[in-house]
Amino acid sequence: MTNMINLLLFPIILPFLFAILLLFFKENIFMQRLLAFIGLTVSLVAALFLVAKVKTDGIQVITLGSWPAPFGISMVSDMLSALLVTTTLLITLLVVVYSFTSIGKERERYFYYPAILFMITGVNGAFTTGDIFNMFVFFEVLLIASYVLIVLGGEKQQLRESIKYILVNVISSALFVITIAYLYSVVGTLNMADISVKIAQVGQPGIITVIAVLMLIVFGIKGSMFPLYFWLPGSYAAPPVPVLALFGALLTKVGVYAIMRTYTLFFINDIGFTHEILLVLSILTVIGGCIGALAYFDVKQIIIYNIVIAIGVILFGVAQMNEAGISGGIFYLIHDMLIKGALFLLIGIIIYVTGTSNLRKMGGLMKTHAPLGWMYLIAAFGLAGVPPLSGFIGKLLIVKGAFEAGTILGSIIILASSLVVLLSVIRIFIYAFWGAPTAELPVTNHRSYRKMMIPAVLLVILSVLYGVGTEWLIPYMADATDVLLQPSIYIDAVLKE
């Protein structure tokens, strides 16, 4: 039992403890970097052990306090949450290494690393909790830390965009609490497994369907789903690239995870209505993201709109509620975390080398920075889902699920979106790397450039391995899919604990 407790809570407690420790070394940049690196490495090792433990022994559950579930607060690690926690820590570790050279000492002195670790505490907590109110609490932890990261540096654009970001999140958090209160008044419990049991007992009366739609609005704002992603492009483009990489790879995915969890665990008795809404909104999200990705000539904005497209694709898979669709959604979710992390780090290097994020002012980088060009091209193909790279298998499964469910038009739109994604990212390649150099490049430090390349290249390699090694990953993905498709596995694990 103790061994299990440690493993389950390590990826949440360790970043939290190291974040507190870092607060004592505000001015000492060396200690800030060292402790952040050690904290994330140890957490990642714990998360890998946790994945192995869940694979061999099934879902791990711990109910805090000496109350049994559903009265105590349950923390639950099934394969889906264990994989997401591991991916989160992996990406954060590489982004932190990238930050050593790119974020600047001024920010490093102002609680940059503690804010990242507090944010990861919230992200991993939200992935692991088995209690819906606790999920709200972890959302708040990660949001408060993200408020620090978005304003850090205090540039005019950052401050302007952060006000919008904070307002949107405050409103969605208020709505989240109200929705939880409604849910509690109907079912009388906050334990997620117990909520599922209680909803199944009462069928799904109208009030539960209303709550399902409210939940979709709350998580749709956090996960930036159509038409609620209006705040995302501006807010994400404001902070420096390492922060943007963390936000783009991780924060929206917490909202997506919450939709996946609630829409496969709670609201499964009136699929005709709730999942139809999810289906329509996911297709509109893809279309909206495609329009944005083609409309801009700013490298940050193009990749940010690609986040929106990916969220639409993942939710489209989940809305099918069949094995192929959901396992494709899980595959694509983890692929997108890896590839967005890689792409943001790479465009950060492009911006560092050229001194601008405007495509029209770039050109000819292939002559001076060929490895950067090839890495970007591999990542771009991976994002678009060119086989055998990581985006391909997820999208293939999602489309298969859509055909099985009879959503033919939707699957055609998903396939067409791949071409738009490819077009939008290849446009960056053509403008930045081909042609004649447009202007004198700013003087860049080659040592810094090489140091920034290391984590970016590692992430690209990981995303390629994720695609090529699909066969080895299938048993893990199958476990994650089973839990979502058969809520009884999750319920039994939690309530029999």
1, part of any domain = no
The DSSP 8-state label assigned to residue 238 in this structure reads S
With bands split at pLDDT 50, 70 and 90, how would you rate the model's confidence at 125? very high
pLDDT given at position 87: 93
Q: Which of 96, 100, 1 is nearest to 450 (CA)?
A: 100
Asked if 259 and 223 count as a contact pair (C-beta separation under 8 A), the reply is: yes
Q: What is the mean pLDDT of the chain?
A: 85
pLDDT of residue 443: 63
Q: How sure is the predictor about 138, in pLDDT bands with cuts at 50, 70 and 90? A: very high
Mean pLDDT in residue range 424-441: 78
What are the two backbone dihedrals, phi and then psi, of residue 297, each rounded to the nearest 5 degrees?
-115, 20
Give the model's pLDDT for residue 77: 86
Residue 18: per-residue pLDDT: 92
The neighbouring-strand residues paired with 75 are 62, 129
pLDDT of the residue at 5: 52
Best CA proximity match to 124, nearest among 172, 180, 169, 86: 86
| pLDDT band (50, 70, 90) for residue 373 | confident
Instruction: Categorize the per-residue pLDDT at 301 as very low, low, confident or very high, splitting at 50, 70 and 90.
Output: confident
Looking at residues 182-195, what average pLDDT do you find?
87
For the ranges 74-88, 207-221, 324-338, 443-457, the lowest mean pLDDT is seen at 443-457
Q: pLDDT at residue 88 above 90?
A: yes
Locate 286 and state its tokens.
């893809």
What's the CA gap between 214 and 194, in Å, rounded?
20
CA pair distance 67, 69, nearest whole angstrom: 7
Segment 64-74, tens digit of pLDDT? 777 777 788 88
Q: State residue 2's pLDDT score.
A: 45
Residue 110's pLDDT is 80
User: Average pLDDT of 419-430?
Assistant: 88
Q: Please, how many CA atoms are within 13 Å of residue 276, restricted to the half-sphere of its CB?
A: 6
Residue 333's contacts (CB-CB under 8 Å, 6 or more residues apart) are 84, 253, 256, 257, 260, 314, 394
Give start and end residues of each alpha helix (H) in 70-225: 79-102, 105-109, 112-128, 132-151, 156-187, 192-202, 206-223
Domain annotation covers residue 69: yes
In this structure, what are the phi and psi dihedrals at residue 231, rounded to the nearest 5 degrees? Answer: -80, -20
pLDDT, average across residues 29-57: 89
What is the rounded distance in angstroms from the CA atom of residue 341 to the CA atom of residue 362?
A: 22
Read off the pLDDT of residues 268-286 as tens digits, 9 standing for 90 and up.
777 777 788 888 999 999 9
Q: What is the percent of the chain with per-residue pLDDT over 70, rounded to a whole number?
A: 96
* Residue 421 belongs to some domain of the structure: yes
The residue that leads in pLDDT, 202 or 90, is: 90
CA nearest neighbour of 112 among 246, 13, 236? 246
Number of structural domains the chain divides into: 1
93 pLDDT more than 90: yes
The more confident residue out of 180 and 394 is 180
List, for residues 380-422, the tens digit of each pLDDT value: 888 888 888 888 888 888 888 888 888 888 888 888 888 898 8
DSSP secondary structure, 310-345, as one string: HHHHHHHHHHT-SHHHHHHHHHHHHHHHHHHHHHHH
Is residue 184 a part of any domain in this protein? Answer: yes
Say if 267 falls within a structural domain.
yes
Q: Return the structure tokens found at 483.
A: 């839990």
Counting Cα atoms < 13 Å in the Cβ hemisphere of 314 gives: 29
Per-residue confidence (pLDDT) for residue 497, from 0 to 100: 56
Task: Among 244-253, 258-267, 426-435, name the one with the lowest average pLDDT.
Answer: 426-435
| pLDDT tier, 450 (very low <50, low <70, confident <90, very high otherwise) | confident
Residue 205 has pLDDT above 80, yes or no: no
Q: 206-223 and 271-295 are packed helices; what angle lies between their axes, rounded to 10 degrees?
A: 20
Average of pLDDT values for 464-476?
Answer: 86
For the chain, percent of residues with pLDDT exceeding 90: 21
Report the amino acid identity of residue 349.
I
pLDDT of 1: 43
The answer to whether residue 106 is domain-embedded is yes
More confident residue, 269 or 124: 124
Cβ-based neighbour number of residue 354 at 10 Å:
24
For the stretch 331-341, pLDDT in tens is 999 999 999 99
The pLDDT assigned to 444 comes to 67
Specify the amino acid at residue 473.
Answer: L
d(CA 33, CA 35): 6
Task: Tell me which residue of 393, 388, 363, 378 sits closest to 457, measured CA to CA.
Answer: 378
Bridge partners for 77 per DSSP: 60
| 97's tokens | 């290494």
What confidence score (pLDDT) does residue 434 get? 82
Cα→Cα distances 301→222, 241, 462, Å:
18, 12, 24
Q: How many other β-carbons are positioned within 10 Å of the β-carbon of residue 73?
A: 19
Q: Which has the higher per-residue pLDDT, 444 or 451?
A: 451
Residue 320 structural domain: 7-495
